[in-house]
Structure 1
Amino acid sequence: MRFLLQLLPLLPLALGATTSPCTPQEITITPSQILFIAPNSTSCANAPELAKGECVTAAQAAPPLSAAFTKYKVTSRAEQAAVLALIAFESGEFRYNRNHFPGVPGQGTRNMQSPTFNKEYAASIPALEGRFQSVKDDPAAVLDLLLEDAENDFGSGAWFLTTQCADAVRRGLQSGTEQGWRGFIVDCVGTEANEARKGYWVSAVNALQVSE
Protein backbone atom coordinates (compact mmCIF):
# COMPACT_ATOMS: atom_id res chain seq x y z
CA MET A 1 0.00 0.00 0.00
CA ARG A 2 2.83 2.41 0.84
CA PHE A 3 4.36 1.77 -2.59
CA LEU A 4 1.07 2.63 -4.33
CA LEU A 5 0.71 5.85 -2.34
CA GLN A 6 4.21 6.87 -3.37
CA LEU A 7 3.32 6.30 -7.03
CA LEU A 8 0.11 8.40 -7.02
CA PRO A 9 1.80 11.83 -7.27
CA LEU A 10 3.75 10.58 -10.31
CA LEU A 11 0.68 9.47 -12.29
CA PRO A 12 0.09 12.83 -14.06
CA LEU A 13 3.67 12.75 -15.34
CA ALA A 14 3.31 9.16 -16.49
CA LEU A 15 0.14 10.08 -18.36
CA GLY A 16 1.84 12.98 -20.10
CA ALA A 17 0.02 15.78 -18.29
CA THR A 18 1.41 19.19 -19.21
CA THR A 19 -0.80 21.52 -17.18
CA SER A 20 -1.62 22.02 -13.52
CA PRO A 21 -4.72 23.49 -11.89
CA CYS A 22 -2.88 26.83 -11.84
CA THR A 23 -1.93 26.76 -15.52
CA PRO A 24 -4.45 28.46 -17.88
CA GLN A 25 -5.83 26.28 -20.62
CA GLU A 26 -4.15 27.38 -23.84
CA ILE A 27 -6.71 28.47 -26.40
CA THR A 28 -6.11 28.73 -30.12
CA ILE A 29 -8.10 30.82 -32.57
CA THR A 30 -6.98 30.20 -36.15
CA PRO A 31 -6.72 32.64 -39.05
CA SER A 32 -9.20 30.53 -41.01
CA GLN A 33 -11.78 30.87 -38.22
CA ILE A 34 -11.27 34.63 -38.19
CA LEU A 35 -11.62 34.81 -41.98
CA PHE A 36 -14.93 32.97 -41.75
CA ILE A 37 -16.15 35.69 -39.39
CA ALA A 38 -14.42 38.64 -41.07
CA PRO A 39 -13.81 37.75 -44.74
CA ASN A 40 -12.42 41.21 -45.50
CA SER A 41 -9.45 40.61 -43.20
CA THR A 42 -7.46 38.69 -45.81
CA SER A 43 -5.40 41.77 -46.62
CA CYS A 44 -4.81 45.40 -45.65
CA ALA A 45 -4.16 46.49 -49.23
CA ASN A 46 -7.28 48.66 -49.28
CA ALA A 47 -7.09 49.92 -45.71
CA PRO A 48 -8.62 53.40 -45.14
CA GLU A 49 -6.07 56.19 -45.36
CA LEU A 50 -7.47 57.98 -42.29
CA ALA A 51 -6.70 54.90 -40.19
CA LYS A 52 -3.18 54.34 -41.45
CA GLY A 53 -1.35 51.65 -39.49
CA GLU A 54 -4.46 50.36 -37.74
CA CYS A 55 -5.46 47.55 -40.10
CA VAL A 56 -4.34 43.99 -39.42
CA THR A 57 -5.06 40.74 -41.22
CA ALA A 58 -6.65 37.59 -39.85
CA ALA A 59 -3.20 36.01 -39.67
CA GLN A 60 -1.96 38.92 -37.53
CA ALA A 61 -5.07 38.97 -35.33
CA ALA A 62 -5.10 35.25 -34.49
CA PRO A 63 -2.16 35.13 -32.03
CA PRO A 64 -3.20 38.06 -29.79
CA LEU A 65 -6.83 36.92 -29.78
CA SER A 66 -5.74 33.43 -28.74
CA ALA A 67 -3.54 34.94 -26.04
CA ALA A 68 -6.42 37.06 -24.75
CA PHE A 69 -8.80 34.13 -24.36
CA THR A 70 -6.05 32.19 -22.63
CA LYS A 71 -5.14 35.07 -20.29
CA TYR A 72 -8.72 35.78 -19.24
CA LYS A 73 -9.68 32.08 -19.20
CA VAL A 74 -12.52 32.40 -21.69
CA THR A 75 -12.83 28.69 -22.41
CA SER A 76 -16.46 28.61 -23.58
CA ARG A 77 -16.63 28.49 -27.39
CA ALA A 78 -19.97 30.30 -27.25
CA GLU A 79 -18.43 33.17 -25.28
CA GLN A 80 -15.44 33.26 -27.61
CA ALA A 81 -17.80 33.51 -30.58
CA ALA A 82 -19.66 36.44 -29.04
CA VAL A 83 -16.44 38.33 -28.31
CA LEU A 84 -15.01 37.67 -31.78
CA ALA A 85 -18.24 38.82 -33.40
CA LEU A 86 -18.24 41.99 -31.32
CA ILE A 87 -14.63 42.79 -32.18
CA ALA A 88 -15.12 42.08 -35.89
CA PHE A 89 -18.12 44.40 -35.99
CA GLU A 90 -16.66 47.21 -33.88
CA SER A 91 -13.28 47.27 -35.63
CA GLY A 92 -14.66 47.09 -39.16
CA GLU A 93 -13.12 43.64 -39.58
CA PHE A 94 -9.83 44.71 -37.98
CA ARG A 95 -9.38 47.91 -40.00
CA TYR A 96 -9.68 50.21 -36.99
CA ASN A 97 -8.61 50.37 -33.36
CA ARG A 98 -9.54 54.03 -32.80
CA ASN A 99 -12.93 55.68 -32.98
CA HIS A 100 -12.96 57.80 -36.15
CA PHE A 101 -16.72 58.21 -36.46
CA PRO A 102 -17.37 60.68 -34.94
CA GLY A 103 -13.88 60.59 -33.43
CA VAL A 104 -14.16 60.32 -29.65
CA PRO A 105 -10.71 60.93 -28.09
CA GLY A 106 -9.57 57.89 -26.14
CA GLN A 107 -12.19 55.50 -27.50
CA GLY A 108 -10.70 52.44 -29.13
CA THR A 109 -8.88 49.11 -28.95
CA ARG A 110 -10.37 46.37 -31.13
CA ASN A 111 -13.37 46.26 -28.82
CA MET A 112 -13.81 50.01 -29.47
CA GLN A 113 -14.24 50.62 -25.76
CA SER A 114 -15.15 53.94 -24.23
CA PRO A 115 -12.39 55.99 -22.54
CA THR A 116 -13.85 55.06 -19.14
CA PHE A 117 -13.47 51.34 -19.80
CA ASN A 118 -10.03 51.83 -21.34
CA LYS A 119 -8.85 53.58 -18.21
CA GLU A 120 -10.07 50.69 -16.06
CA TYR A 121 -8.60 48.16 -18.49
CA ALA A 122 -5.19 49.83 -18.57
CA ALA A 123 -5.14 50.04 -14.77
CA SER A 124 -5.61 46.26 -14.62
CA ILE A 125 -2.49 45.46 -16.66
CA PRO A 126 0.56 45.11 -14.37
CA ALA A 127 3.07 45.77 -17.15
CA LEU A 128 1.57 49.23 -17.70
CA GLU A 129 1.35 50.25 -14.05
CA GLY A 130 4.18 52.79 -13.92
CA ARG A 131 3.43 54.50 -17.22
CA PHE A 132 -0.32 54.39 -16.71
CA GLN A 133 -0.09 56.51 -13.56
CA SER A 134 1.49 59.34 -15.52
CA VAL A 135 -1.21 59.42 -18.24
CA LYS A 136 -4.31 58.12 -16.46
CA ASP A 137 -6.14 61.46 -16.72
CA ASP A 138 -5.51 61.79 -20.46
CA PRO A 139 -7.90 59.47 -22.38
CA ALA A 140 -5.99 59.75 -25.66
CA ALA A 141 -2.69 58.93 -23.97
CA VAL A 142 -4.24 55.93 -22.19
CA LEU A 143 -5.44 54.60 -25.53
CA ASP A 144 -2.00 55.18 -27.08
CA LEU A 145 -0.52 53.13 -24.24
CA LEU A 146 -2.92 50.25 -24.83
CA LEU A 147 -2.32 50.23 -28.57
CA GLU A 148 1.44 49.82 -28.24
CA ASP A 149 1.02 46.08 -27.67
CA ALA A 150 -1.19 43.89 -29.89
CA GLU A 151 -2.10 41.66 -26.93
CA ASN A 152 -3.49 44.64 -25.05
CA ASP A 153 -5.21 45.97 -28.17
CA PHE A 154 -6.93 42.65 -28.88
CA GLY A 155 -7.35 41.71 -25.23
CA SER A 156 -10.04 44.28 -24.50
CA GLY A 157 -12.93 42.08 -25.62
CA ALA A 158 -12.05 39.19 -23.32
CA TRP A 159 -11.30 41.61 -20.47
CA PHE A 160 -14.65 43.34 -20.93
CA LEU A 161 -16.57 40.07 -20.91
CA THR A 162 -14.89 38.75 -17.78
CA THR A 163 -14.95 41.96 -15.74
CA GLN A 164 -18.03 43.89 -16.86
CA CYS A 165 -20.66 41.25 -17.62
CA ALA A 166 -22.86 39.77 -14.88
CA ASP A 167 -22.72 36.04 -14.20
CA ALA A 168 -26.25 35.68 -15.55
CA VAL A 169 -25.21 37.25 -18.85
CA ARG A 170 -22.26 34.90 -19.14
CA ARG A 171 -24.39 31.88 -18.36
CA GLY A 172 -26.79 32.96 -21.08
CA LEU A 173 -23.93 33.31 -23.55
CA GLN A 174 -22.56 29.91 -22.65
CA SER A 175 -25.86 28.35 -23.73
CA GLY A 176 -24.99 29.19 -27.33
CA THR A 177 -28.48 30.54 -27.99
CA GLU A 178 -29.51 33.71 -29.77
CA GLN A 179 -31.30 34.77 -26.60
CA GLY A 180 -28.02 34.47 -24.68
CA TRP A 181 -26.20 36.52 -27.30
CA ARG A 182 -28.89 39.20 -27.24
CA GLY A 183 -28.56 39.40 -23.48
CA PHE A 184 -24.83 40.01 -23.85
CA ILE A 185 -25.27 42.77 -26.44
CA VAL A 186 -28.18 44.53 -24.75
CA ASP A 187 -27.53 43.99 -21.04
CA CYS A 188 -23.72 44.11 -20.96
CA VAL A 189 -22.43 45.88 -24.08
CA GLY A 190 -25.41 48.21 -23.84
CA THR A 191 -26.41 48.54 -27.46
CA GLU A 192 -28.91 47.20 -29.99
CA ALA A 193 -28.75 43.56 -31.05
CA ASN A 194 -29.41 44.46 -34.68
CA GLU A 195 -29.13 42.34 -37.81
CA ALA A 196 -25.65 43.60 -38.71
CA ARG A 197 -24.29 42.49 -35.34
CA LYS A 198 -26.23 39.25 -35.52
CA GLY A 199 -24.66 38.42 -38.88
CA TYR A 200 -21.18 38.46 -37.36
CA TRP A 201 -22.37 36.41 -34.40
CA VAL A 202 -23.92 33.74 -36.64
CA SER A 203 -20.67 33.54 -38.60
CA ALA A 204 -18.65 33.25 -35.39
CA VAL A 205 -20.91 30.52 -34.02
CA ASN A 206 -20.42 28.56 -37.22
CA ALA A 207 -16.68 29.20 -37.36
CA LEU A 208 -16.20 27.90 -33.81
CA GLN A 209 -18.79 25.14 -34.22
CA VAL A 210 -20.81 26.26 -31.24
CA SER A 211 -23.82 24.09 -30.43
CA GLU A 212 -26.68 24.79 -28.06
Structure 2
Amino acid sequence: MHFSAVSSLVLGLATLAAAQLPAAAIVKQIAPNAENCADTTECRTAEQAAPFIAQAMYNYKVFTTPEMAAIISLMAFESVDFKYKHNVSPGRPGQGTANMQMAKFNLMYAQSIDSIKDKVSKFTTTDGLSDADLNYILSLVQPDEFNFASGVWFYTTQCDPSLKQALWDNVDTGFQKYMACVGVSVTDDRLAYFTRAKAAFGLK
Protein backbone atom coordinates (compact mmCIF):
# COMPACT_ATOMS: atom_id res chain seq x y z
CA MET A 1 0.00 0.00 0.00
CA HIS A 2 1.09 3.54 -0.71
CA PHE A 3 0.56 5.45 2.54
CA SER A 4 4.18 5.99 3.64
CA ALA A 5 4.20 9.72 2.92
CA VAL A 6 0.53 10.53 3.39
CA SER A 7 0.86 11.44 7.06
CA SER A 8 3.52 14.05 6.38
CA LEU A 9 1.77 15.60 3.41
CA VAL A 10 -1.95 15.34 4.15
CA LEU A 11 -2.94 13.93 7.51
CA GLY A 12 -0.84 16.53 9.32
CA LEU A 13 -2.92 19.38 7.93
CA ALA A 14 -4.74 19.78 11.23
CA THR A 15 -1.42 21.12 12.54
CA LEU A 16 -0.06 22.61 9.35
CA ALA A 17 2.92 24.28 10.98
CA ALA A 18 4.18 20.90 12.11
CA ALA A 19 3.40 19.30 8.75
CA GLN A 20 5.10 21.98 6.67
CA LEU A 21 8.68 20.79 7.00
CA PRO A 22 8.19 17.17 5.92
CA ALA A 23 5.85 18.28 3.13
CA ALA A 24 8.43 20.84 1.99
CA ALA A 25 11.13 18.17 1.99
CA ILE A 26 9.02 16.02 -0.33
CA VAL A 27 8.28 18.93 -2.68
CA LYS A 28 11.92 20.00 -2.69
CA GLN A 29 13.05 16.51 -3.65
CA ILE A 30 10.71 16.63 -6.64
CA ALA A 31 11.63 20.22 -7.58
CA PRO A 32 15.27 20.53 -6.46
CA ASN A 33 15.71 23.97 -8.00
CA ALA A 34 12.89 25.47 -5.94
CA GLU A 35 15.29 26.76 -3.30
CA ASN A 36 15.16 30.52 -3.74
CA CYS A 37 13.45 33.16 -5.84
CA ALA A 38 15.27 36.11 -7.33
CA ASP A 39 11.91 37.55 -8.43
CA THR A 40 9.05 36.81 -6.05
CA THR A 41 6.34 38.12 -8.39
CA GLU A 42 5.58 34.57 -9.52
CA CYS A 43 8.34 32.36 -8.16
CA ARG A 44 7.81 30.33 -4.99
CA THR A 45 10.18 28.07 -3.10
CA ALA A 46 9.37 24.48 -2.16
CA GLU A 47 8.82 25.61 1.43
CA GLN A 48 6.31 28.23 0.28
CA ALA A 49 4.51 25.94 -2.16
CA ALA A 50 4.25 22.84 0.05
CA PRO A 51 1.47 23.96 2.44
CA PHE A 52 -0.75 25.04 -0.45
CA ILE A 53 -0.14 21.78 -2.31
CA ALA A 54 -0.89 19.78 0.83
CA GLN A 55 -4.09 21.72 1.46
CA ALA A 56 -5.20 21.17 -2.13
CA MET A 57 -4.67 17.42 -1.84
CA TYR A 58 -6.86 17.46 1.27
CA ASN A 59 -9.55 19.68 -0.24
CA TYR A 60 -9.90 17.56 -3.37
CA LYS A 61 -9.59 14.27 -1.44
CA VAL A 62 -6.43 13.01 -3.15
CA PHE A 63 -4.97 10.73 -0.48
CA THR A 64 -2.84 8.12 -2.29
CA THR A 65 0.85 8.64 -2.91
CA PRO A 66 0.85 7.53 -6.58
CA GLU A 67 -1.65 10.29 -7.31
CA MET A 68 0.29 12.86 -5.30
CA ALA A 69 3.57 11.93 -7.00
CA ALA A 70 2.05 12.24 -10.46
CA ILE A 71 0.30 15.56 -9.81
CA ILE A 72 3.20 17.29 -8.04
CA SER A 73 5.71 16.14 -10.65
CA LEU A 74 3.54 17.61 -13.39
CA MET A 75 3.13 20.95 -11.62
CA ALA A 76 6.85 21.15 -10.83
CA PHE A 77 7.76 20.43 -14.45
CA GLU A 78 5.22 22.79 -16.00
CA SER A 79 6.09 25.72 -13.74
CA VAL A 80 9.86 25.14 -13.99
CA ASP A 81 10.21 24.31 -10.30
CA PHE A 82 7.45 26.79 -9.36
CA LYS A 83 9.14 29.79 -10.96
CA TYR A 84 6.26 30.76 -13.23
CA LYS A 85 2.49 31.17 -13.02
CA HIS A 86 2.00 32.04 -16.68
CA ASN A 87 3.09 30.59 -20.00
CA VAL A 88 6.48 32.07 -20.82
CA SER A 89 7.12 30.39 -24.15
CA PRO A 90 5.46 31.03 -26.54
CA GLY A 91 3.68 33.42 -24.15
CA ARG A 92 0.14 32.19 -24.80
CA PRO A 93 -2.44 34.59 -23.26
CA GLY A 94 -4.53 33.08 -20.50
CA GLN A 95 -2.40 29.97 -20.01
CA GLY A 96 -0.89 29.49 -16.60
CA THR A 97 -0.98 28.42 -12.93
CA ALA A 98 1.47 25.85 -11.62
CA ASN A 99 -0.31 23.29 -13.79
CA MET A 100 0.14 25.61 -16.81
CA GLN A 101 -3.47 25.04 -17.84
CA MET A 102 -4.90 26.36 -21.08
CA ALA A 103 -7.21 29.36 -20.85
CA LYS A 104 -10.43 27.35 -21.20
CA PHE A 105 -9.52 25.27 -18.17
CA ASN A 106 -8.63 28.34 -16.14
CA LEU A 107 -12.11 29.68 -16.84
CA MET A 108 -13.65 26.38 -15.76
CA TYR A 109 -11.42 26.36 -12.69
CA ALA A 110 -12.41 29.92 -11.76
CA GLN A 111 -16.07 29.01 -12.21
CA SER A 112 -15.62 26.21 -9.65
CA ILE A 113 -14.26 28.48 -6.90
CA ASP A 114 -16.96 30.13 -4.80
CA SER A 115 -14.89 33.18 -3.88
CA ILE A 116 -14.15 34.21 -7.47
CA LYS A 117 -16.83 32.66 -9.68
CA ASP A 118 -18.89 35.87 -9.67
CA LYS A 119 -15.94 37.65 -11.27
CA VAL A 120 -16.11 35.40 -14.32
CA SER A 121 -19.91 35.12 -14.52
CA LYS A 122 -19.98 37.15 -17.75
CA PHE A 123 -17.80 34.60 -19.51
CA THR A 124 -19.26 31.37 -20.87
CA THR A 125 -16.33 30.41 -23.10
CA THR A 126 -12.82 31.60 -23.86
CA ASP A 127 -13.45 31.48 -27.61
CA GLY A 128 -13.08 34.94 -29.10
CA LEU A 129 -11.98 36.61 -25.87
CA SER A 130 -9.35 39.32 -26.01
CA ASP A 131 -5.88 38.74 -24.61
CA ALA A 132 -6.77 41.14 -21.81
CA ASP A 133 -9.83 39.09 -20.83
CA LEU A 134 -7.89 35.82 -21.00
CA ASN A 135 -5.15 37.22 -18.79
CA TYR A 136 -7.72 38.66 -16.39
CA ILE A 137 -9.25 35.22 -15.90
CA LEU A 138 -5.77 33.78 -15.36
CA SER A 139 -4.96 36.45 -12.77
CA LEU A 140 -7.92 35.32 -10.65
CA VAL A 141 -6.48 31.81 -10.23
CA GLN A 142 -2.86 32.86 -9.72
CA PRO A 143 -2.96 33.57 -5.95
CA ASP A 144 -1.06 30.82 -4.16
CA GLU A 145 -4.10 29.05 -2.71
CA PHE A 146 -5.50 28.58 -6.24
CA ASN A 147 -2.26 28.39 -8.21
CA PHE A 148 -0.99 25.35 -6.34
CA ALA A 149 -4.37 23.62 -6.41
CA SER A 150 -4.73 23.79 -10.18
CA GLY A 151 -3.10 20.44 -10.85
CA VAL A 152 -5.25 18.68 -8.29
CA TRP A 153 -8.40 20.32 -9.66
CA PHE A 154 -7.56 19.25 -13.21
CA TYR A 155 -6.78 15.69 -12.16
CA THR A 156 -9.99 15.27 -10.18
CA THR A 157 -12.36 17.00 -12.61
CA GLN A 158 -10.92 16.58 -16.12
CA CYS A 159 -9.41 13.09 -16.04
CA ASP A 160 -11.41 9.86 -16.05
CA PRO A 161 -11.99 8.50 -12.53
CA SER A 162 -10.41 5.21 -13.66
CA LEU A 163 -7.04 6.97 -13.65
CA LYS A 164 -6.90 6.67 -9.86
CA GLN A 165 -7.00 2.89 -10.06
CA ALA A 166 -4.55 2.89 -12.96
CA LEU A 167 -2.00 4.79 -10.88
CA TRP A 168 -2.62 2.46 -7.97
CA ASP A 169 -2.25 -0.69 -10.08
CA ASN A 170 0.96 0.41 -11.82
CA VAL A 171 2.30 3.86 -11.16
CA ASP A 172 4.37 4.01 -14.37
CA THR A 173 1.65 3.01 -16.82
CA GLY A 174 -0.76 5.11 -14.76
CA PHE A 175 1.50 8.12 -15.24
CA GLN A 176 1.43 7.55 -19.00
CA LYS A 177 -2.36 7.59 -18.90
CA TYR A 178 -2.29 10.75 -16.78
CA MET A 179 -0.08 12.50 -19.34
CA ALA A 180 -2.50 11.40 -22.06
CA CYS A 181 -5.31 13.05 -20.10
CA VAL A 182 -3.26 16.23 -19.88
CA GLY A 183 -2.62 16.00 -23.63
CA VAL A 184 1.16 15.58 -23.61
CA SER A 185 3.70 12.83 -24.15
CA VAL A 186 6.00 11.30 -21.52
CA THR A 187 9.29 12.97 -22.43
CA ASP A 188 12.61 12.35 -20.71
CA ASP A 189 12.32 15.70 -18.93
CA ARG A 190 8.86 14.91 -17.58
CA LEU A 191 9.99 11.44 -16.59
CA ALA A 192 12.92 12.88 -14.62
CA TYR A 193 10.49 14.83 -12.42
CA PHE A 194 8.27 11.80 -11.99
CA THR A 195 11.22 9.59 -11.09
CA ARG A 196 12.17 12.04 -8.34
CA ALA A 197 8.55 12.11 -7.19
CA LYS A 198 8.42 8.33 -6.94
CA ALA A 199 11.59 8.38 -4.85
CA ALA A 200 10.21 11.13 -2.61
CA PHE A 201 7.09 9.08 -1.89
CA GLY A 202 8.88 5.74 -1.64
CA LEU A 203 7.25 4.28 -4.75
CA LYS A 204 8.83 1.54 -6.84
Cα distance in 1, alignment partners of residues 166 and 117 from structure 2: 34
- RMSD, aligned CA: 1.9
Q: 2:34 aligns with which of 37, 41, 44?
A: 41
Q: Determine the structure 1 residue equivalent to 2:138.
A: 143
Query: Are residues 26 and 158 of structure 1, via their aligned partners in 2, closer, same or farther at CA, if it must alter by over 3 Å?
Result: farther
Q: TM (normalized to structure 2)?
A: 0.83
Q: Determine the structure 1 residue equivalent to 2:159.
A: 165
Per-residue Cα deviation, 1:108-152 (whole angstroms, up to 9, x for no partner): 0000000010000000001112222256652111101111x2110
**1:209 Cα offset (Å):** 1.6
Q: 2:74 aligns with which of 67, 81, 86?
A: 86
The residue identity in structure 2 corresponding to 1:53 is T
Query: Are residues 176 and 65 of structure 1, via their aligned partners in 2, closer, same or farther at CA, if it must alter by over 3 Å?
Result: farther
Cα distance in 2, alignment partners of residues 88 and 197 from structure 1: 9
Q: 1:190 aligns with which of 171, 183, 188?
A: 183
**1:208 Cα offset (Å):** 1.4
Cα distance in 1, alignment partners of residues 71 and 48 from structure 2: 17
The residue identity in structure 1 corresponding to 2:140 is L
Q: Determine the structure 2 residue equivalent to 1:10.
A: none
Q: Determine the structure 1 residue equivalent to 2:197.
A: 204
SS of residue matched to 1:126: coil
Q: Determine the structure 2 residue equivalent to 1:31.
A: 24
Q: TM (normalized to structure 1)?
A: 0.80
Q: Determine the structure 1 residue equivalent to 2:4.
A: none
- Contact (CA 8 Å) 1:176, 1:210: kept in 2 or not? no
**1:99 Cα offset (Å):** 0.3
Per-residue Cα deviation, 1:11-53 (whole angstroms, up to 9, x for no partner): xxxxxxxxxxxxx9665661111111111101113x5xxxx61
Runs of 4+ residues deviating >3 angstroms: 24-29, 134-137
Per-residue Cα deviation, 1:182-205 (whole angstroms, up to 9, x for no partner): 11112x011111111011001001
Q: Determine the structure 1 residue equivalent to 2:56.
A: 68
Shifted more, 131-140 versus 169-178: the winner is 131-140
Q: State the aligned residue count.
A: 181
